[in-house]
Every structure is written in structure tokens, then in C-alpha cells.
Amino acid sequence: MDLIPIVLFVFNRPLHTQKTLEALSKNYLANESRLYIYADGPKENATESQIEQIEETRRIIRSADWCKEVIIIESDVNNGLANSIVKGVTEVVNKHGKVIVLEDDLITSNGFLQYMNDALNLYEHDKEVMHISGYIYPATALDKTEQTFFLNILSCWGWGTWQRAWKHYNHDIDTHLNTFKSKESIKRFDIYGNANYYVQLTDNKSGKLYSWAVRWYASWLSAGGFSLFPANSLVANDGFDGSGENCGVDEGFNTELAANVQVIKQPIAENLYNRKRIDKFYAKKEATLKRFLINTTMKMGIFDHLKKIKDAIK
């Protein structure tokens, strides 16, 4: 059986890209996997220094056989991360039926690809399961009796999906605003008032933001979907070390990586105990979370609205 293809999105961070690829190449299934790399192009007003960073990133992605097969798609123009991800995921998942998605600042454990392949194959025909996450928030006292469980929340730090689920992706913000318009639905969408996903929808409507992730979350949640999470993370984000544009140090979401996670079929229902633990984690980290969510969405092709963070955490 062919392994599920991986798609990686890179732009102008050569050091982060190299660390991401080195970690990926150490995965147990890397030497049997196909890797697509989408490299975004320079902005119209890019400086020489910025262009050099892009070129160095491209030298790195060509410098080794990171997986069994590496297919590089380089853009001459800047599409932005949001458009790049929607385009790349659509192309790969339509060709192969399933896809594993990474960005240029994600560090995977050796068992990440095994977990993703196992989960995407196991739940392939369960239509309610629409998203597989490789990361779990470091909430305290999670019930880890089972190594995986379902939640109705978003995490896009190393994820996977199927063509059947990605068909639900709806780019139209008005549709999502119409779906999440009652107080109760907005509260649920916003992790019971502790996140700002609804604000992200309204900001996408006004043009202040441009995010693929909140659209994907709204799409699968409104379609009655579930996301599978590991009890222990297989992915860490290396992008909040202060080196990335608009990204500061944020230790609140760091977590120790598991070497592997066993995937056994679970009832398709939200784990309410773990959901409550994560809701409390969100509430406790509210001030940090507001900053984190904005930083994350900035990395997803969204321009600066740091003032909103400042106003929110006063």
C-alpha cells in the first residue's frame, strides 16, 4: 500500500525549513514517503535580503533526499500562505485522496508519519471524521487512558485530511458568519468565550485578516465533523522563538513530544472530559492565547493587527 503523501509549505525561513526537513527525514516512514514542497515566491516590494532568504530556503529544499521522492513546486510570485495552502492541499488531496500537511516551522517526532498514516487509513470511511491532528494542547490532567480521542476544536500544527472531507472546505466568509450567528453557536465556536475565532471570521469579512485555518475549522465543524487528537503531541512549533516575522517567544504551548502514538478505533464522539480540560487551559491562558492566535494567523498569510492584541490583553 502506498503511503500518504506529505505536503510542506515554505517561504523565506531557511533555518526553520532545514530543521523541519531534518526532523521529517528521521521519521520511520520518511524513506518510503512522497513529499511535495510548495515554495512561495517573493512579494513585489521584496528587498535583496528578503529575496536571498527565499533563495536560500530553495537551496535547502533541494539539498537532500528528505523522503523517498521529493516534488518541488516553486512559485515566481507571492501567493501568501493562505492561498498556497488551499491550492496545495487541494491539488495533492484530489490526486491522492489523502494528505498530511506541514509548515516550515514544525518539528515532528520520529513516529509522526506512522501515526498520521495509521489514523488516516483507519478512519478513511468514517465520514464524520474530517481532520487528524498531530498536536494536542498541553492542558493539565488530560485523561490519557486512550492514546487518541476526538474533539471539536482546531489544531493545524501537523494535520491530515481526506478528499471527502476537504470537499467541505468553504472559502466564503458570509456562509460561515451565517452559520455561526446565534450567541450559543458563537460561544461554542470560540471555545466558550476564551478564543477569538469569531473575530477572525469578521476580520476576514472586513479585510483585516486573510486566513485559511479559521475557514477550514468553520467548514468541518458546521458539517458535523470531528478531529482526532493524540493524547501526547507528535509535533512542536519552532516558530515562536522570536526569529519569525511578528512571532515572539511563547512557552505556553510547548509540550514534550511522544516517540509514537498507537491508533486504535475510538467511538466517534467528543471526549467531554478532555474537552473541559482544554477549555480550562484556554481560559487560563486567555491573555497568552489572544497573542498566540493572532501570531498563528499572521503566519497563515494574514497581515499585522497587533493593536487588536494590545487592546485585548490590557
Q: What is the dihedral of CA 241, 243, 41, 292, to 10 degrees?
A: 40
CATH 3.60.110.10 assigned to domain 6-171+210-271? The reply is no
Exposure letters 168-181 (e unless 16+ CB within 10 A, then b): bbbeebeebbebbe
For the chain, the structural domain boundaries read 6-171+210-271
pLDDT in tens, 217-268: 999 999 999 999 999 999 999 886 554 433 444 557 878 999 999 999 999 9
pLDDT of residue 282: 80
pLDDT of residue 133: 99
> 116 φ, ψ to 5°?
-65, -45
pLDDT along the chain (314 residues), means of 10: 94 98 98 99 96 98 98 98 98 99 98 99 99 95 97 96 98 95 89 81 93 97 98 91 44 85 98 93 68 59 48 50
* DSSP strands (E only) in 46-200: 69-74, 98-103, 106-108, 129-133, 148-151, 159-162
CA distance 267 to 48: 54
pLDDT of residue 244: 40
